[in-house]
Amino acid sequence: MEKKEVAKTSEAEIAVHWKEEELFYPSTKFIAQANLTDEFVYDRFSLDNFPECFKEYADLLDWYKYWDTTLDTSDAPCWKWFVGGKINACYNCVDRHLEKNKNKAAIHWVPEPENERIQHLTYQELYVRINEFAALLRDFAGLKAGDRVTLHMPMVPELPITMLACARLGIIHSEVFGGFSGKACADRIVDSGSNVLITIDGYYRGGKLLDHKANADIAVEQAEKEGQTVDKVLVWQRYPGKNSSPTPMVDGRDYFVNDLLKDYRGKRIDPVPMPAEAPLFLMYTSGTTGKPKGCQHSTGGFLAYVAGTSKYIQDIHPEDVYWCMADIGWITGHSYIVYGPLALCASSVIFEGVPTYPDAGRAWRIAEELDVNIFHTAPTTIRALRKVGPDEPAKYNYHFKHMTTVGEPIEPEVWKWYHEVVGKGEAVIVDTWWQTENGGFLCSTVPALRAMKPGSAGPGVPGIHPIIYDDDGNEIKAGTGKAGNICIQNPWPGQFQTIWGDRDRYVSTYFEKYCKDKNSKNWRDWPYLAGDAAMLSKDGYFRILGRIDDVINVSGHRLGTKELESASLDVVEVAEAAVVPVADEIKGMVPDLYVSLRPGYDPSPELAAKISQSLCDSIGKIARPRKVWIVPDMPKTRSGKIMRRVLAAISNDKDVGDTTTLANPDIVDEIHKMSQDMIEELKESKKALMKE
Ligand code: WTA
């Protein structure tokens, strides 16, 4: 029998076999207009000039009061940037542009239904709407600086309006991705201690007007059970003046924003000068344990960092029409749809819907109609667009000068399609590696200074000094072909400040592994552990290989395996659960769920469907497993640990390796047999699809 490739335990090992790619160079036309063409930037931002080099980014902003200390390390590793400075993020993204650019479009909002016209909000209009809503937040909802408020909103202009109105008052916003369930929203309401929830009645997704208000009811009810009372639910309307949700409003708790706003017409609220290190927002992300982490981002440091990187890495000028297809409910949207582009006075496109709906040309029609020239998306979307319409972009008259990819490693052949077909061979590409925790880009080429290499993010961006360590803390040098744990040697202003309410988890997750001295106040002793495996080529380009912890990256959305497992355990029949990643052509990774049942229950397709649904209910549709395997027992080590490695091998049709050390090796054969049948089934259904 032919021996199959031995199971890979992490994405890292799989990817190390990628071959080194040729370099691609940007056009001279791009270089001639680029914001950053000065090779000395790397000297200016060298470790010798750290931390003062970041003054260059902070100087892109308007400060009420300049700071006295660039980097305060007294509470290491909770770094404080620009201490003593006073600033307002909303003022910097809106007010300061009015004098010269009040008539310029700040936001182009593209509704999903194509018969609804694109709405263009000028900076003046944005200013007015933010002020009126800020007045409502202050005077009706009773919110003030330092309070947390949870937002559960989709891709509508009211989302940045809400965020910026919060920022105007120093209220800490915590936006939960619109596609998340009411239960997931509840967990975040509880953790952040919000007593106001801001939502919308409905929105379009894939041709359907979804009832989103229903999620708010679930969220509030569930939060109450967990001990957090929400006393006001503010409901925006997808069509102002009309209710688009069949879910009734709760008297004395739920309010339509558009009704309330009538009382605040014409109101203007002075932006509140906030300390630079005051939190601007929380963004929850998955970790290795079930509980999501609330990454706390600062006002001055975050804004300086996203403004600087939007300018130098994304090459945004005020004349540009910039479209980032990510969702504002993720960090990419916060940093690079809202705060970064608006701080630079660009026009930012917000698209409500699915880029492949109603057909493969939709995205390119939007690009053509708005004359978008900077484009930003994730490999998962690029793969999907390529699958449904490989020749589509050529049919539309748009021209990108610059394109970003983010969120996952991009396969070189997908990169090349992005470059040749989407970018028409004209656009420069940046592959930006970073994380929710980081606020902004960590590794990327500076587009006019460094050539592109498909599949590699590139060197650290100016001011970021990555290093790869092996498990024992030895540096893995450039060009060795070995992978290790990528760390950043120095703090930077966009770095999150802590995990909301859990400083110990912040220290242990990100710093403990390589900390040189726990009592040290010197930043050199505290390298930041990103949690990704990476390797460094001879020419200084980092290739990111995937997560080293238990996180599955589905279509660029991070899901903790533990979160999924704990959701499936909510189903009474389930005794044990294990989630493993399966490689998927479009989504990168998808979860497979293995469960064993409690005694007295029998497996059935209905039960599998119920378990699958429970994951969607508690987390959201993106968590739907490819397959729920109801197995007689889990393969376990003698100490009782579930062997996920073995299950992952089976799911990915790889060799399971040595199982003799298991407590119950026979079970592996049984599961394997089940999987063979299922793989045959999948092949058959794929064939049938191809025929159609
Ligand atoms: C992965 C998204 C390869 C990585 C901004 C990281 C990437 C996780 C890239 C963070 C990239 C992000 N190349 N992998 N260019 N960008 N990742 O928090 O594993 O949603 O740790 O932030 O996505 O995902 P997050």
Whose alpha carbon is nearest atom 7 of ligand 1?
408
pLDDT of residue 14: 35
Angle made by CA atoms 613, 615, 618, in degrees to the nearest 5: 110
Burial environment of residue 645 by CB neighbours within 10 A (0 to 12, 13 to 18, 19 or more): middle
- Cα–Cα distance, 408 to 457 (Å, whole number): 10
> Residue 13 — very low, low, confident or very high, per pLDDT cuts 50/70/90?
very low
The residue to mutate among 434, 445, 488, having the most atoms of ligand 1 within 8 angstroms of its beta carbon, is 434
Beta strands at 627-630 and 588-597: parallel, antiparallel or unpaired: parallel
Is the CB–ligand 1 distance for residue 376 below 6 Å?
no
Distance between Cα 579 and ligand 1 center (Å): 20
Is the CB–ligand 1 distance for residue 264 below 6 Å?
no
Whose alpha carbon is nearest atom 24 of ligand 1?
435
Is the CB–ligand 1 distance for residue 407 below 6 Å?
yes
Helix (H) or strand (E) holding 416: helix 412-417
DSSP 52: G
Buried b (16+ CB within 10 A) or exposed e, 383-413: bbbbeebeebbeeeebebbbbbbbbbbbbbe
**Cβ atoms of residues 175 and 140 within 8 Å:** no
Is 185's pLDDT higher than 80? yes
Q: What are the residue ranges of helices labelled H in 485-604?
A: 503-510, 561-568
Buried b (16+ CB within 10 A) or exposed e, 11-40: bbebbeebeebeeeebeeebeeebbbeeee
Is the CB–ligand 1 distance for residue 408 below 6 Å?
yes
* Mean of all residue pLDDT scores within the chain: 92
Is 333's pLDDT higher than 90? yes
Distance between Cα 194 and ligand 1 center (Å): 28
Is the CB–ligand 1 distance for residue 285 below 6 Å?
yes
**Amino acid, res. 46:** S
Closest CA to 151 of 132, 130, 180, 173: 173
The residue to mutate among 553, 587, 589, having the most atoms of ligand 1 within 8 angstroms of its beta carbon, is 553
Instruction: Please write the tens of the pLDDT for every residue from 281-323.
Output: 999 987 655 678 999 999 999 999 999 999 999 999 999 999 9
Whose alpha carbon is nearest atom 10 of ligand 1?
435
**Cβ atoms of residues 403 and 375 within 8 Å:** yes
- Measured from the Cβ of residue 88, the count of other Cβ atoms closer than 10 Å reads 27
252: left (phi over 0), alpha (psi -120 to 50) or beta: left
> Residue 4 — very low, low, confident or very high, per pLDDT cuts 50/70/90?
very low
Distance between Cα 240 and ligand 1 center (Å): 37
Instruction: Please write the tens of the pLDDT for every residue from 202-227.
Output: 999 999 999 999 999 999 999 999 99
Whose alpha carbon is nearest atom 5 of ligand 1?
435
- Cα–Cα distance, 643 to 637 (Å, whole number): 7
Is the CB–ligand 1 distance for residue 436 below 6 Å?
yes
Is the CB–ligand 1 distance for residue 46 below 6 Å?
no
Helix (H) or strand (E) holding 502: none
pLDDT of residue 287: 64
**Cβ atoms of residues 229 and 195 within 8 Å:** yes
pLDDT of residue 5: 40
Is the CB–ligand 1 distance for residue 544 below 6 Å?
yes
- Cα–Cα distance, 328 to 366 (Å, whole number): 18
Whose alpha carbon is nearest atom 8 of ligand 1?
435
Q: How remote is the C-alpha of 168 from its chain's centroid?
A: 24
Angle made by CA atoms 598, 614, 288, in degrees to the nearest 5: 85
Is the CB–ligand 1 distance for residue 306 below 6 Å?
no
- Cα–Cα distance, 146 to 394 (Å, whole number): 49
pLDDT of residue 18: 56
Query: Tokens 């119920």 correspond to what residue?
Result: 610
- Biggest distance spanned by C-alpha atoms of the chain: 78
Closest CA to 630 of 574, 552, 572, 563: 574
In this predicted structure, which of 153-167, 457-471, 505-519, 590-604 has the lowest mean pLDDT?
A: 590-604
SS3 593: strand
The residue to mutate among 177, 433, 487, having the most atoms of ligand 1 within 8 angstroms of its beta carbon, is 433
> Residue 689 — very low, low, confident or very high, per pLDDT cuts 50/70/90?
low
What contacts 602, CB < 8 A, 6 or more positions away?
none
Query: Tokens 């100016």 correspond to what residue?
Result: 462
- Cα–Cα distance, 200 to 213 (Å, whole number): 6
Once rounded to an integer, what is the mean pLDDT over residues 42-56? 98
**Amino acid, res. 9:** T
Once rounded to an integer, what is the mean pLDDT over residues 575-598? 90
Burial environment of residue 583 by CB neighbours within 10 A (0 to 12, 13 to 18, 19 or more): middle
Is the CB–ligand 1 distance for residue 499 below 6 Å?
no
Helix (H) or strand (E) holding 29: helix 28-33
**Cβ atoms of residues 464 and 488 within 8 Å:** yes
Atom of ligand 1 nearest to the CA of 332: 5
Is the CB–ligand 1 distance for residue 431 below 6 Å?
yes
Distance between Cα 95 and ligand 1 center (Å): 33
Is the CB–ligand 1 distance for residue 581 below 6 Å?
no
User: What φ, ψ does residue 678 adopt, rounded to 5°?
Assistant: -70, -35
What contacts 21, CB < 8 A, 6 or more positions away?
412, 453, 454, 455, 456
**Cβ atoms of residues 499 and 506 within 8 Å:** yes
pLDDT of residue 139: 98
pLDDT of residue 380: 83
**Amino acid, res. 451:** A
Q: Please tell me which residue, 327 or 685, carries the higher pLDDT value.
A: 327
pLDDT of residue 517: 96
The residue to mutate among 331, 529, 532, having the most atoms of ligand 1 within 8 angstroms of its beta carbon, is 532
Instruction: Please write the tens of the pLDDT for every residue from 140-182.
Output: 999 999 999 999 999 999 999 999 999 999 999 999 999 999 9
DSSP 615: H
**Cβ atoms of residues 299 and 80 within 8 Å:** no
What contacts 335, CB < 8 A, 6 or more positions away?
302, 306, 439, 440, 494
pTM of the model: 0.89
Distance between Cα 382 and ligand 1 center (Å): 15
User: What φ, ψ does residue 377 adopt, rounded to 5°?
Assistant: -155, -175
Is the CB–ligand 1 distance for residue 331 below 6 Å?
yes
Distance between Cα 314 and ligand 1 center (Å): 17
Is the CB–ligand 1 distance for residue 435 below 6 Å?
yes
Is 692's pLDDT higher than 70? no
User: What φ, ψ does residue 405 adopt, rounded to 5°?
Assistant: -125, 145
